[in-house]
Amino acid sequence: MALSFFSKRKADNPEMTFIDHLEELRWHIMRSVLAILIGAIVIFIYIDWVFTTVIAGPLHDNFFTYTALCKFSQWIGAGDSLCLPPPKIKELQVIAFGSQFMSSISIAFVGGFIVAFPYIFWEFWRFVKPALSPKELKSTRGAIVFVSIFFFLGVAFGYFLLAPFTFSFLANYTIGLDNILVTKPTLADYMENLVDIIIGSALAFQLPVVSYVLTRIGLITPNFLKTYRKYSYVAILVIAAVITPSPDWMSQMIVFIPLAFLYEFSVFISKRVFKREEEKAKRDW
C-alpha cells in the first residue's frame, strides 16, 4: 500500500523521489507542529485563566453542566432528582517542584492541538490527496469540514457531559462507615483523566465520517454494518470502558449510548450513500 501511495504521487510529479516525498512530509509535519506551537503559546500566556475557567471547570460547583441539569430537573417538575453533585474537591495536590510548570506546558500543547486540529488535518489531507484516485477524491469531498465538526462535537461531549459525570462519581464515591478516607487527587492524575476523556471522545465521534468515506469508496455496505451490529456494540462497550476512567456503569452508559447512536447514524449514512451510488451506477449503465 505504501508503494502504491508513492507511485501515485510520482505519477503526478515524476520528478519527485522517495527522499522528496519524505521532505514534503517533513514540511507538512513542521507546519502542523508550528500551528500547535502558536496555539500553545497563546494558551500559555493566559494559562491562569485557562486553568481556572476551563481545565478546573468540572470541579467547580457553578460549572455549566451541574447548573443546567438542576434547572432542567426543576423545569420538568422532577425537583432535584437530576441534579449532579459537584465533586467535593477543594484542591489538587502537586508532589514535585516542577509539577505545576510541566502541567502548564501539557495544558498549552493539548489545547494547542485541539485548537489547531482543522489545520493539522488539512495538512494531512494535502499530503495524502495526490495519492487518491478521482473516485476517492470525490468520495472525500468536504472531509476537512465534517471531520473537524465531529471532532469538536466529541470534545464538547467529553468536556461538558462525560467529564462532569466521571469526576462527580469518583470524587463522591466513598467506602467504609467512619469516613476516614479523603480523596485528594493530584494535578497530574486529574489532567490525565481529563485529556483521556476529551481526546477519546473526539476520536470516537469520527465514526459517521469514517462510515461515509468507506461506503463511498466501496469498502463497506449497510448490510455489512447491520450484520456485524452486535459485535460492534461489544466493541463500543469496550471503547466506553477505555474512555471512562471510572468503573461505574453510569459513566460507561453515558459514553455507550451516544456511541451506539453514532453507529446507528453511521448505518443510516451508509444506507443513503450506498443507495445513491447504486442509482448512479444504474444511470451510467
Task: Domain ranges for the chain, please list them.
Answer: 1-54+88-131, 142-285
The pLDDT of residue 6 is 43
Q: Return the ∠ at Cα 143 (arms to 139 and 144), rounded to 5°.
A: 155
The Cα 243–Cα 220 span in angstroms is 26
| Dihedral angle sign, alpha carbons of residues 88, 178, 247, 67 | negative
CA-based nearest residue to 58, from 171, 173, 205: 171
Residue 15 has a pLDDT of 59
First to last CA, the chain: 30
Q: Residue 248 has what pLDDT?
A: 60
- Give the model's pLDDT for residue 11: 47
Sign of the torsion formed by the C-alpha atoms of 204, 199, 58 and 33: negative
Cβ pair 221, 167 in contact under 8 A: no
Which stretches of the chain are DSSP H helices? Answer: 2-12, 18-45, 47-49, 64-75, 99-128, 134-139, 143-157, 163-172, 187-204, 207-217, 222-227, 229-243, 249-284
pLDDT < 70 stretches in the chain: 1-16, 135-136, 139, 243-251, 284-285
